[in-house]
Amino acid sequence: MRRFGFFRRLHQAALVAVLVFGLLPSVQAQPSGNDLVDAALIAEPQSIRAGQPFWVGVRLRMAEHWHTYWRNPGDSGLATEISWALPPGFSAGPIVWPVPERIPVAHLVNYGYEGEIVLLTQITPPAALPGGDVPLRADVNWLVCQKECIPGEATVDLALPGGNGDINAATKSAFDAARQKVAQVSPWPARMQMTDGGFVLSVAAAGLEAGRIREATFLPHQESMIEHAAAQLLSIDANGLALRMQRGSFATAGLPQQTGGLLLITEDIGGKLQQQAFEFSQIAYGAAPAVATVADWATVLQAALLALLGGVLLNLMPCVFPVLSIKILALVSHSGQDGEKARRAQIRRHGIAYTLGILVSFAALAGLLLALRASGAQIGWGFQLQMPLVIALLAYLLFAMGLSLSGVFHVGGSFAGIGDALTRRGGYQGSFFTGVLAAVVATPCTAPFMATATGFALTQPATVGIGIFLALGFGLALPFLILTLVPQLADRLPRPGLWMERVKQALAFPLYATVAWLIWVLSQQVGQQGLLTAMLGLVLVAAAAWSFGLRGRVAMASAALLLVAAAGALYSTARDPAAPAASVAQTQPGGATTEAFSRQKLDGLLAQQTPVFVNMTAAWCITCMVNERTALSSDTVQAAFRERSIVYMKGDWTNQDPEITRVLEQNGRSGVPLYLYYAGGKSVVLPQILTPAIVLEHLDQLDRPQKSVSLSNPTLNPQR
Amino acid sequence: MTISRRILLSAAAIGAVGLLAIPQFGNASSGVQVGQPAPAFSVKDTNGKTVSLADLKGKTVVLEWSNHECPFVKKHYTGNNMQTLQKKWTGQEVVWLTIVSSPVGEQGYVDAGQANKLTTERGAAPSAVLLDPKSQIARAYGATVTPHMYVIDKTGKLAYAGGIDDKPSARIDDLKGAKNFVDSALTELAQGKAVSTTTARPYGCTVKYASPSA
């Protein structure tokens, strides 16, 4: 390390280094004799034991109000440097830095220390010590600033005899205190994701109590990584916390493989604010293998179990229920067939075919989703329903099924063929296809159990991810599968008879209702022209079905022609996309103003300290609709929004929106609904099922009056 | 089987739409951005002549934030590094503007007379010295330290922003062997090449900002 020779002469044996402007050629001297920094070397043991590492510390005492810098000095300043001159065979480790304070200067932020600090370093002696006292020496360079900055340097030294390495009682307390100021190694895995304009640090600290955390800040090791003075947005949910940071304007384009830093968390423990600091030495970017390692089988298993449970629950969702009922009806119709053994075998095969249909489609959907995301697409679970083509296709299909149930046409001799006009043998393909249909229709019904699981799945390596989606699909198939595999259960089903005809006709109506819902979804995805063609397409489907029901060559030919025309309607429907998000910016009667979501608008509002409630929703998300009706639009919630001047922001994910997808991701979600509340520089993620009470409780959580916590008065008490 | 084909087809359609929808990755961070037009300013120099960036279109412009009392600035002036750069590049038709953003009462503040005296004393050779005691230009550019260097190309776009070199220290010895980012950016621009290092960590003393109301 190079330095000014004349300084060394001046301060050679001194513990005090004063660098004054007067020493440099030209003008204006600082008041001399101003001992800005007093540097000394202290050792924890009284003697050195051969081969046994020991701790020393460079103690810096700063003049009042002056500060020196942490390893990352922030917007300006320089980190203190220590270069060791040790006898042969001795080696020194890196500086173990105390947790720094955030020091704001105008609109900039630096990281450093006021008062007194000890920079700990571990020294490893060789197996054989030299005779006599061992001299330890280091050149210390620092920049000390208040408003002005003055570089300084000192050579500090110390001699220790060889011995048994006993702790020096005189310095023990200084070392204990110094260790108290060092961050503890984080017990939680973390990953860093790049977003446009910044980074999101996700820390898998499950079980954090959002209500207790008052503040969280990340101080990166890398100097130019983030905008140090910019607010960091905190969100906490059951999986841990996420901090959103702004990218530094001087961040170089090429990112290193990984980063590190300190996470400072201020918690309210029994009315007392306590700060804890956690050190992350290495955080990988992106969907980190650190979190996704197979070593974490418990997490994967847990997610798979949740997915399975979520899948079972999906059966009750309004979108899947009609499909399932038809399947069960089909099962009943089989029960009249001859040969008990053959009948059971057949039923079993139907169950397996149905399960396979679901599994294959879930694997295909998940695989496609993961592949698209790997190539950079900002899409989430349920993405297929963001395509008007898929929505319209589903509507036509369900409409045709409904017409068949209503008796407009019959497929083969059994209901197993419904939905699959081309089925010939036994209807297993029909069962398979019913499974496919159930899977496709079920995706948007993101049940609460699934949010965590699917969100997790998308951060995992493809195999694990697909595995979790398969668990979800298996859950969906499970009730029917059990019904077919356990003969006792199947036997409980009523015998076929006239009642079946009635039930069959009745079941057409849930399907028509689903069609109505799909068309409504479509109305938000396509323009008026597209909507009209889509509905004309429905008429064509009806005509085709009727024609098909008439039988005979001419009828068949015209049915085929009509279907082609319907396909044409599908095509032109998909080519008429809606004017984006025109439908969401509105004022609800007597309610708070609804703003359409945009990242920019949100950032702007947050910069002005305006509280914001974000509702990420989609027309095809039934849970979202229910939450909006029962909780968000309720008078109490709307009144609370007005009272607290909360801006209600609605993100419509009915159609593709990469901006919303990214927000979902940042919160560990792969689909809607997602509810976020921002206030006072913090944010909280609300549960997926809302009641007015839940919403109000979360509003309170962040709005509770808080004492402001200044990091420059650290009541540092890391729990070690 | 027709059905699986239909599924395949719709999957393919979904895939195609998804691929088309891959968004552009933008960078929306604050402050000035390299590659974007440099913020305009128009201000009188220490000799009373108005300097406005708009008039300098067609010329390469260097902005140097300075505070003569800052040890980091002193490093580059005492070591004759800054003057050498100024002379080299103003001699090649580059406009070099030294900007002082310290407000009255803060370290580094100078009036026009003092500024001119400093220029003579230091043997400096900027095209002009601009006084920015309300820190308006510093704010517009997001200058954080002295020296903080900006290079603006002939089309008025920012070509380099950041530290002067790769040795963040106040030691004169460190001038030797340092890679000077301003010099290399100007060289590359003069050769009609793209600037290879467009930003580096700025180091130095914090710019002494005037309070926003001042």
For residue A671, what is the domain's CATH number? Answer: 3.40.30.10
**Is residue B160 included in any domain, yes or no?**
yes
Report residue B214's pLDDT band, with 50, 70 and 90 as the boundaries: very low
- Minimal-distance CA residue of chain B relative to A108: B144
A383 vs B71: CB contact, 8 Å cut-off? no
Structure tokens at B35: 């590659």
Cα separation, B131 vs B66, whole angstroms: 10
Alpha helices in A335-376 (DSSP H): 340-374
A147 vs B206: CB contact, 8 Å cut-off? yes
**Residues in B touching A658 (Cβ below 8 Å):** 21, 23
Do A210 and A118 share a structural domain? no
**Is residue B30 included in any domain, yes or no?**
no
Q: Is A456 helix (H, G, I), strand (E, B) or coil?
A: helix
Cα separation, B9 vs B32, whole angstroms: 47
Do A312 and A269 share a structural domain? no
Q: Which letter does DSSP use for residue A704 in this model?
A: S
Chain A interface disruption, residue of B205, B208, B211, B213, most A CBs within 10 A: B205
In tens, the pLDDT along B16-41 reads 333 333 222 222 233 577 888 999 99
**Is residue A448 included in any domain, yes or no?**
yes
A247 vs B161: CB contact, 8 Å cut-off? no
End-to-end CA distance of chain B: 78
Chain B interface disruption, residue of A249, A378, A391, most B CBs within 10 A: A249
Q: Is A375 exposed, middle or buried (0-12, 13-18, 19+ CB in 10 A)?
A: exposed
Q: What is the largest CA-CA distance in chain A?
A: 112
Do A330 and A430 share a structural domain? yes
Q: Which residues of A291-314 are buried (b: 16+ CB within 10 A; e: fewer)?
A: bbeeebeebbeebbebbbbbbbbb
Chain A interface disruption, residue of B4, B10, B14, most A CBs within 10 A: B14
Selected residue with higher pLDDT from A257 and A75: A75
From the list B2, B161, B173, which residue is nearest A2 (CB)?
A: B173
Q: Is A540 helix (H, G, I), strand (E, B) or coil?
A: helix
Q: Is A659 helix (H, G, I), strand (E, B) or coil?
A: helix
Structure tokens at A288: 């980190």
Do A145 and A115 share a structural domain? yes
**Is residue B64 included in any domain, yes or no?**
yes
- Within a 10 A sphere around the Cβ of A675, how many other Cβ atoms? 24
**Is residue B80 included in any domain, yes or no?**
yes
Beta-carbon contacts of residue A578 (< 8 Å; ≥ 6 apart) = A524, A525, A526, A527, A530, A655
Q: Which residue has the tokens 């979520």?
A: A310
Q: Which domain holds residue B197?
A: 53-206
B71 vs A151: CB contact, 8 Å cut-off? yes
The one-letter amino acid at A692: P
Which helix (DSSP H) or strand (DSSP E) does residue B130 occupy?
Answer: strand B128-131
Chain A interface disruption, residue of B5, B32, B206, most A CBs within 10 A: B206
From the list B3, B22, B25, which residue is nearest A420 (CB)?
A: B3
**Is residue A249 included in any domain, yes or no?**
yes
Which of A52, A182, A53 is closest to A119 using CA atoms? A182
**Is residue A103 included in any domain, yes or no?**
yes
Cα separation, A227 vs A248, whole angstroms: 4
In tens, the pLDDT along A183-215 reads 988 888 888 887 766 788 888 877 677 778 888
Q: Which letter does DSSP use for residue B52 in this model?
A: E
Chain A interface disruption, residue of B2, B30, B122, most A CBs within 10 A: B30
> Which residue, of A456, A472, A505, is where some domain finishes?
A505
Structure tokens at A325: 């009922």
Pairing relationship of beta strands A647-652 and A682-686 according to DSSP bridges: unpaired
pTM: 0.54
What is the distance in angstroms between the Cα of B22 and the nearest Cα belonging to chain A? 4
From the list A25, A147, A227, which residue is nearest B208 (CB)?
A: A147
Counted residue by residue, chain A has a size of 720
Q: Dihedrals φ, ψ of A97, to 5°?
A: -80, 135
Report residue A53's pLDDT band, with 50, 70 and 90 as the boundaries: very high
Amino acid A411: pLDDT: 59
Contact at 8 Å (CB) between A684 and A698?
A: yes
- Percentage of chain A lying above the pLDDT 70 cut: 77
What is the distance in angstroms between the Cα of A388 and the nearest Cα belonging to chain B? 10
Which of A394, A264, A413 is closest to A333 using CA atoms? A413
From the list A198, A251, A376, which residue is nearest B22 (CB)?
A: A376
Alpha helices in A462-613 (DSSP H): 462-485, 487-492, 498-523, 528-550, 553-574, 599-607
What is the distance in angstroms between the Cα of B166 and the nearest Cα belonging to chain A? 13
**Is residue A328 included in any domain, yes or no?**
yes
CATH number for position A220: 2.60.40
End-to-end CA distance of chain A: 36
**Is residue B47 included in any domain, yes or no?**
no
Do A338 and A219 share a structural domain? no
What is the distance in angstroms between the Cα of B163 and the nearest Cα belonging to chain A? 9
Cα B89 from chain centre = 16
In tens, the pLDDT along A232-255 reads 888 877 677 888 888 877 665 556
Phi-psi sector, A33: left (phi>0), alpha (psi -120 to 50), beta = left
From the list B13, B23, B68, which residue is nearest A378 (CB)?
A: B23
CATH number for position A152: 2.60.40.1250
Which of A211, A214, A201, A205 is closest to A186 using CA atoms? A205
> Which residue, of A505, A540, A571, is where some domain finishes?
A505
Contact at 8 Å (CB) between B195 and B162?
A: no
Do A259 and A119 share a structural domain? no
Do A667 and A642 share a structural domain? yes
Cα separation, A168 vs A189, whole angstroms: 37
Domain count, chain A: 4
Q: Which domain holds residue A615?
A: 594-703
Beta strands, E only, A221-371: 233-237, 240-246, 258-269, 272-284
Segment A636-655 shows an average pLDDT of 87
Report residue A338's pLDDT band, with 50, 70 and 90 as the boundaries: low
**Is residue A230 included in any domain, yes or no?**
yes
Taking 3-state DSSP, the helix, strand and coil percentages for chain B, each rounded to the nearest 5, stand at 35, 20, 45
Domain count, chain B: 1
B69 vs A4: CB contact, 8 Å cut-off? no
**Is residue B102 included in any domain, yes or no?**
yes
A224 vs B106: CB contact, 8 Å cut-off? no
From the list A143, A224, A364, which residue is nearest B170 (CB)?
A: A143
Do A171 and A193 share a structural domain? no
A419 has a pLDDT exceeding 50 = no
**Residues in A touching B11 (Cβ below 8 Å):** 364, 368
**Residues in A touching B168 (Cβ below 8 Å):** 78
From the list B3, B15, B68, which residue is nearest A372 (CB)?
A: B15
From the list B17, B33, B144, which residue is nearest A75 (CB)?
A: B144
Do A349 and A460 share a structural domain? yes
Do A194 and A168 share a structural domain? no
Amino acid A406: pLDDT: 86
Do A178 and A194 share a structural domain? no
CATH number for position B197: 3.40.30.10
> Which residue, of A285, A315, A342, is where some domain finishes?
A285
Cα A236 from chain centre = 10
**Is residue B106 included in any domain, yes or no?**
yes
A389 vs B169: CB contact, 8 Å cut-off? no
- Percentage of chain A lying above the pLDDT 90 cut: 19
Across A46-60, A234-248, A683-697, least confident range: A234-248
**Is residue B76 included in any domain, yes or no?**
yes
Cα separation, B67 vs B109, whole angstroms: 7
Strand order of the sheet with strand A91-96? A16-17, A37-43, A54-62, A116-124, A91-96
Structure tokens at A274: 């306590």
Do A493 and A375 share a structural domain? yes
Contacts across the A-B interface (CB distance below 8 Å): 157
